Chains A and B, each alone.
Chain A
Amino acid sequence: MLNAIDRFVVRMGQGIMAHRWLTVILSILLVGWFAYGARYLGFSTDYRVYFGPENPQLKAFDQVQNVYNKNDITMVVIEPPGDTTFNRETLSLVDTFTERAWGLPYVIRIDSVTNFQHTEAEGDDLKVADLVDNPAGLTDAELAAIRAVAINEPLLAGRLSSRDGRVLAVAVTHQYLGKSSMEVTEAVAATRQLRDELLAEYPEHRIYLSGSNMMSNTFAEASMADIQSLYPLMYGLLIVVVYLFLRSVTATAATVVIIVFSTVGAMGLAGYLGISLTSPSAISPIVITTLAVADSVHILVSLFALMREGKSKQEAMVESLRLNFMPVFLTSITTALGLLSINFADSPPLHDLGNISAMGSILAWLLSITLLPALIAIFPVKVPARKGSFMAARMMALGEWTVRNKRPVFWSSALISAALMAMIPLNEANDKFVHYFDERIQFRNDSDFMADNITGLYTMEFSLPAKNGVADPAYLAQLDAFKNWWYENPKVMHVSSVSDIFKRLNKNLHGDDPEWYRLPTERDMAAQYLLLYEFSLPFGLDLNNSINLDKTASRFIVTFEHLKSRETRETLFSGQQWLRDNAPDLAATGVSPAVMFAFIAERNFSSMAVGIPLALLGISVILVLALRSLKFGLVSLVPNLFPMGMAFGLWAIYNGEVNFTMSFSMGVMLGIIVDDTIHFMSKYLRARREQNISPEEAVVHTFRTVGPALLVTSLTLALGFLVLCYSAFYPTASMSLLTVMGIACALITDFLLLPVVLLWADREKASEQTMETACESSAS
């Protein structure tokens, strides 16, 4: 069978050599057609895309959003130059912003201290009006009165006004139509323009932008920033490394062509498939690039070696293809399998990253065995002076050392691996989405300012059912108790509950007597107060975002300063437990982006717990077939599995907090690590079978022949992922660092543990029968 493949490859190689121009033109046409699909590629600007359609936290969240208004909110935080924000100028700024914000795209509601519907008794009537009217003409007494309302009103203090009165915020609610992926971008651009206009009019003030809306936009912007800063760095580094290793301009240029074509082709195919890019999937070009380099490098290294032996360029290329066809095919297919396993993860952007990278990896393989030989045939190639003998000699020395010291090597590496893997449980899942972005990203700084000064971005909301209507005094009392319970938690910055509206109306309708600032005691009375209040509310400031249509449920929102994922889950569960214990009729599930992100890592890792073993099984089957040995297929599990475990162990020591994109690292690591195993084991077995040498000699031979290439490809991959460590998007950076750790562990495993395991596995059988018969019996 191998001969049949060999014959096919030789014929294909000769055909390509003969029709080199045709091959180039066909490649360009094919890749050009693929690339044409890139016109469908868009950037997704909705944080909701990180959650699969079946994600229970997303479903619960959407259900609440469907009952009330959607809340894609931009928080506009305004800091005055002085100590207090209750001065004519700052209030004018807030008032102007509030008014002009009505012109922003997709706006349905604006809340601020100035348009807050302040209620007061006016004789026997209820006066409902903007808290601040004509701010420039306010007297000092009026300013003091406004301040007193703003820092004491439960609906304002800790949300739209800081409790110390130093900072104010405007909450701009957008309702996107969902017709275009540019809607968020458009809204944010207009908001920033409005901010700039007002900063020009009020130059002493500072304005910060945060909220879920800015977060969505930042996901896209951070990726754009990554593309602009990381891609050039990545390609520059890559060209240097490949040139230093190959020492040939033509070969380096050809490699770059293969990489660019694979990347462009895969991105175009993603466009045809209707994938829209997100922060994770936007890095797929870099993943493809790192993976694609290896294919070309292996073929070119063999080519140069053969040419140095005196073969012509054409002959050497055909022979190089014959030698590398299977390993390159196998590494590509197993890498693709590893990447495709990510489809088991919960987050669609991770599927996209896996699928685009898998397509790129297959395309890179196809192009490496077709376009690459054709390019080499067309352009003059100067065989670089023999080098690398130094590296090969070092590698051989390492091999000999390992063989000599197999017992200590085995025990020490086994112990270290075991110790590292024992650390895995120390990792804690944590997705703090504000901290996804580092300080280079404005959103992070603005959100930190907001959290430090006025209100948080981490919320938890409940739609609390009221079986007798929201005006039921018993219900309102329970809301109040729930609110007070939340305020016992020092991390809670604000609680929004409709019970506060009823208290205020009760006071207003009793001539503003502070004694009456308490919940109404009769249901009909409360309902009629509310009706009166509702009839007085202006456009866009209605109660539809806090009370449902039937008035049988109300929205209860708790705002926190930063919360870790674990804290979010614990807080959520304790809140839900409080309801069950103290107000069973109000039992509800807490929902919010923070809640969704609190579970995202766990969901992704637990779904990958199915995906990885399946991918591993597929890869092992391929290896058993390719190595034509069940035993060596099983032995391959050691170098395939250990490095991943060791990497997570290292991570526990280094950082200890894992986020959802790290489940992607598992697939990438699997794909990459298997490549090393294939190269090492196939060369070892080839040496054992074709040269009939002892296992010890075969190990040394393997070190000499593939050692340098393994080192260089690992170095390239590590460099690629190290570049990604510089990403301003923390999930990308951390996932990349983990992958680098995995690559390093894989190299150590392949150079230390794998050889001694091979020697051990090979010895038993070798004492009874020859290697050849063993292989043939297991292959048949």
Chain B
Amino acid sequence: MNHPRRKINVLAAILLSLVAGTSLAQYDGLSAEDKGLAIAREADRRDLGWGDSSATMNMVLRNRQGDESVREMRNKALEVADDGDKSLIIFDEPRDVRGTALLTFSHRVGDDDQWLYLPALKRVKRIASSNKSGPFMGSEFAYEDISSQEVEKYTYRYLRDETLNGQDCFVIERDPVDEDSGYSRQIVWMDKAEYRVQKVEYYDRKDSHLKTLTFHDYQQYLNKHWRAQRLEMVNHQTMKSTTLTFADYTFANGFDDREFNQSGLARMR
């Protein structure tokens, strides 16, 4: 867990990154594995300190013949200092699950904890399953695709540099640590300028290309934190696709732990 990069001070790194191309210098001499991890750490570091956020989520699901179906949700998230983040998703559409809320404590190591509040039962149910790699609300996103992307959830390997849509990118392979993951590996394109994920290719357990996720319309909040407004996931095997749109991002809402616990779930609206 000790890497020489840690010794480089933050200011120096920022200064270096101002000059395109020279930012690479900090990774000189690293093995592909170390360089991949270093890049992932840097991306994580750059987004530190966002505190809390809230946004609305809209998902449009499409099947092979183009039929569409819509899901509406609200998302609240809280940054946790020494562990994975906490998140709360409240479902508004479809109507028969309105008011249902999903609380997640993600963890850097081990399974995430999840609870679902079912308003019809007026009860909170823990999701007692170790494998949560199924589709999220029937979409092409698996829960693991949109959950908090903690650095520790993968092992990394830097592959190459590549230009994607005119942006200089790192291309990194990351392999899920969780054995129940639906993927054997993922290939990530991350731009060098701001360390934002631009594209992810997902490979299934037999190592066939399963899905591609692309990120669109990045906007910066609090002069620091970049959030994509639109995510497009395409399944190459079933030809189904899902568009996930985020809107009304707000930061510094003053959320705290009391809102992100099981007893608080029932009060959420």
Residues on A facing B (Cβ under 8 Å): 63, 66-67, 69-70, 102-108, 122, 124-129, 175, 177, 469, 471, 509, 522-529, 531-532, 534-544, 547-551
The yes or no answer to B165 lying at the interface (CB within 8 A) is: no
The yes or no answer to B6 lying at the interface (CB within 8 A) is: no
B142 & A524 in contact (Cβ 8 Å cutoff): no
- Nearest to A177 among chain B residues (CB) is B237
B102 & A469 in contact (Cβ 8 Å cutoff): no
* Distance (whole angstroms) from the CB of B28 to the closest CB of chain A: 38
Contact with A along B115-156 (1 / 0, CB 8 A): 010111101011111111111011000110000000000000
A522 & B120 in contact (Cβ 8 Å cutoff): yes
Residues of A within 8 A of B68 (CB): 549
The 6 closest A-B pairs by CB, nearest first: A539-B182, A538-B131, A527-B96, A539-B133, A549-B69, A537-B134
A127 & B121 in contact (Cβ 8 Å cutoff): no
B180-207: which residues lie under 8 A (CB-CB) from chain A? Answer: 180-182, 204-206
Q: How far is the CA of A125 from the CA of B123 in the complex (A)?
A: 10
- Nearest to A520 among chain B residues (CB) is B120
Of the residues A175, A522, A549, contact of B138 by C-beta under 8 Å? A549
* Distance (whole angstroms) from the CB of A315 to the closest CB of chain B: 69
Residues of A within 8 A of B96 (CB): 469, 471, 523-524, 526-528
Most chain B C-beta atoms within 10 Å of own C-beta, residue among A67, A107, A125: A125
Of the residues A66, A536, A540, A541, contact of B63 by C-beta under 8 Å? A66
A535 & B102 in contact (Cβ 8 Å cutoff): yes
B116 & A532 in contact (Cβ 8 Å cutoff): yes
Residues of A within 8 A of B181 (CB): 539
Residues of A within 8 A of B118 (CB): 525, 528-529, 531-532
A551 & B120 in contact (Cβ 8 Å cutoff): no
**Residues A543 and B205 in contact in the complex (CB < 8 Å), given A125-B125, A548-B63:** no
- Nearest to B61 among chain A residues (CB) is A549
Q: List 20 A-B contacts (CB under 8 A).
A: A66-B63, A67-B63, A102-B204, A103-B205, A124-B123, A125-B125, A125-B128, A129-B130, A469-B94, A469-B96, A527-B97, A532-B125, A534-B137, A536-B132, A539-B131, A544-B135, A544-B138, A548-B63, A549-B69, A550-B94
Given contacts A539-B131, A551-B94, 16 further A-B contacts (CB under 8 A): A63-B65, A66-B63, A70-B238, A106-B208, A525-B118, A531-B118, A532-B116, A535-B102, A535-B129, A538-B131, A538-B132, A539-B133, A541-B134, A542-B135, A544-B138, A551-B138
Residues of B within 8 A of A529 (CB): 118
Residues of A within 8 A of B238 (CB): 69-70, 108, 175
Residues of B within 8 A of A177 (CB): 236-237
Most chain A C-beta atoms within 10 Å of own C-beta, residue among B118, B123, B181: B118
The yes or no answer to B64 lying at the interface (CB within 8 A) is: yes
Of the residues A105, A108, A122, A538, contact of B128 by C-beta under 8 Å? A122
* Distance (whole angstroms) from the CB of B61 to the closest CB of chain A: 5
The yes or no answer to B114 lying at the interface (CB within 8 A) is: yes
Residues of A within 8 A of B128 (CB): 122, 125-128, 536
Residues of B within 8 A of A129 (CB): 129-130
The yes or no answer to B217 lying at the interface (CB within 8 A) is: no
B134 & A532 in contact (Cβ 8 Å cutoff): no
- Nearest to A545 among chain B residues (CB) is B238
* Distance (whole angstroms) from the CB of A365 to the closest CB of chain B: 48
**Residues A66 and B65 in contact in the complex (CB < 8 Å), given A103-B206, A129-B129:** yes
The yes or no answer to B100 lying at the interface (CB within 8 A) is: yes
**Residues A108 and B116 in contact in the complex (CB < 8 Å), given A102-B205, A524-B96, A536-B129:** no
A524 & B134 in contact (Cβ 8 Å cutoff): no
The yes or no answer to B248 lying at the interface (CB within 8 A) is: no
* Distance (whole angstroms) from the CB of A544 to the closest CB of chain B: 6
Q: How far is the CA of A74 from the CA of B64 in the complex (A)?
A: 22
Of the residues A535, A538, A541, contact of B127 by C-beta under 8 Å? A535
- Nearest to A67 among chain B residues (CB) is B63
Q: How far is the CA of A63 from the CA of B66 in the complex (A)?
A: 11
Residues of B within 8 A of A531 (CB): 91, 97, 100, 116, 118, 137
The yes or no answer to B82 lying at the interface (CB within 8 A) is: no
Of the residues A124, A469, A534, A551, contact of B125 by C-beta under 8 Å? A124
Of the residues A63, A104, A528, contact of B100 by C-beta under 8 Å? A528
The yes or no answer to B257 lying at the interface (CB within 8 A) is: no
Q: How far is the CA of A527 from the CA of B96 in the complex (A)?
A: 6
- Nearest to A469 among chain B residues (CB) is B96
B94 & A534 in contact (Cβ 8 Å cutoff): no
A534 & B138 in contact (Cβ 8 Å cutoff): yes
Q: How far is the CA of A102 from the CA of B205 in the complex (A)?
A: 6
B237 & A67 in contact (Cβ 8 Å cutoff): no
A534 & B134 in contact (Cβ 8 Å cutoff): yes
A540 & B120 in contact (Cβ 8 Å cutoff): no
Residues of B within 8 A of A539 (CB): 131, 133-134, 142, 180-182, 205
B134 & A538 in contact (Cβ 8 Å cutoff): yes
* Distance (whole angstroms) from the CB of B175 to the closest CB of chain A: 15
B84-111: which residues lie under 8 A (CB-CB) from chain A? Answer: 91, 94, 96-97, 100, 102
* Distance (whole angstroms) from the CB of A219 to the closest CB of chain B: 24
Q: How far is the CA of A531 from the CA of B90 in the complex (A)?
A: 13
Residues of B within 8 A of A469 (CB): 94, 96
Residues of B within 8 A of A175 (CB): 237-238
Residues of A within 8 A of B64 (CB): 66-67
A108 & B69 in contact (Cβ 8 Å cutoff): no
Q: How far is the CA of A526 from the CA of B120 in the complex (A)?
A: 9
Residues of A within 8 A of B236 (CB): 177
Residues of B within 8 A of A523 (CB): 96
A102 & B132 in contact (Cβ 8 Å cutoff): no
Residues of B within 8 A of A67 (CB): 63-65, 67
Residues of B within 8 A of A548 (CB): 63, 67, 69
* Distance (whole angstroms) from the CB of A59 to the closest CB of chain B: 12
- Nearest to A108 among chain B residues (CB) is B237
- Nearest to A130 among chain B residues (CB) is B131
A107 & B206 in contact (Cβ 8 Å cutoff): yes
Residues of B within 8 A of A102 (CB): 204-206
Q: How far is the CA of A122 from the CA of B123 in the complex (A)?
A: 15
* Distance (whole angstroms) from the CB of B257 to the closest CB of chain A: 22
A538 & B180 in contact (Cβ 8 Å cutoff): yes
A542 & B134 in contact (Cβ 8 Å cutoff): yes
**Residues A509 and B237 in contact in the complex (CB < 8 Å), given A532-B116, A548-B63:** no
A125 & B126 in contact (Cβ 8 Å cutoff): yes
Contact with A along B52-71 (1 / 0, CB 8 A): 00000000011111011100
B119 & A528 in contact (Cβ 8 Å cutoff): yes
- Nearest to A535 among chain B residues (CB) is B127
Q: How far is the CA of A104 from the CA of B126 in the complex (A)?
A: 34
Q: How far is the CA of A175 from the CA of B240 in the complex (A)?
A: 12
* Distance (whole angstroms) from the CB of A515 to the closest CB of chain B: 17
Q: How far is the CA of A103 from the CA of B182 in the complex (A)?
A: 12
Q: How far is the CA of A531 from the CA of B135 in the complex (A)?
A: 11
Q: How far is the CA of A540 from the CA of B235 in the complex (A)?
A: 13
Residues of A within 8 A of B138 (CB): 534, 542-544, 547, 549, 551
Q: How far is the CA of A175 from the CA of B118 in the complex (A)?
A: 35
Residues of B within 8 A of A107 (CB): 206
* Distance (whole angstroms) from the CB of A131 to the closest CB of chain B: 13
Q: How far is the CA of A101 from the CA of B206 in the complex (A)?
A: 9
* Distance (whole angstroms) from the CB of A552 to the closest CB of chain B: 8
**Residues A528 and B63 in contact in the complex (CB < 8 Å), given A122-B128, A536-B128, A542-B138:** no
A104 & B206 in contact (Cβ 8 Å cutoff): yes
* Distance (whole angstroms) from the CB of B136 to the closest CB of chain A: 8
Q: How far is the CA of A129 from the CA of B238 in the complex (A)?
A: 25
B142 & A536 in contact (Cβ 8 Å cutoff): no
Q: How far is the CA of A582 from the CA of B132 in the complex (A)?
A: 39
**Residues A540 and B182 in contact in the complex (CB < 8 Å), given A525-B121, A528-B121:** yes
Residues of A within 8 A of B180 (CB): 538-539
Q: How far is the CA of A373 from the CA of B118 in the complex (A)?
A: 89
- Nearest to A63 among chain B residues (CB) is B65
Residues of B within 8 A of A124 (CB): 123, 125
B120 & A524 in contact (Cβ 8 Å cutoff): yes
Q: How far is the CA of A122 from the CA of B125 in the complex (A)?
A: 10
Q: How far is the CA of A227 from the CA of B63 in the complex (A)?
A: 41
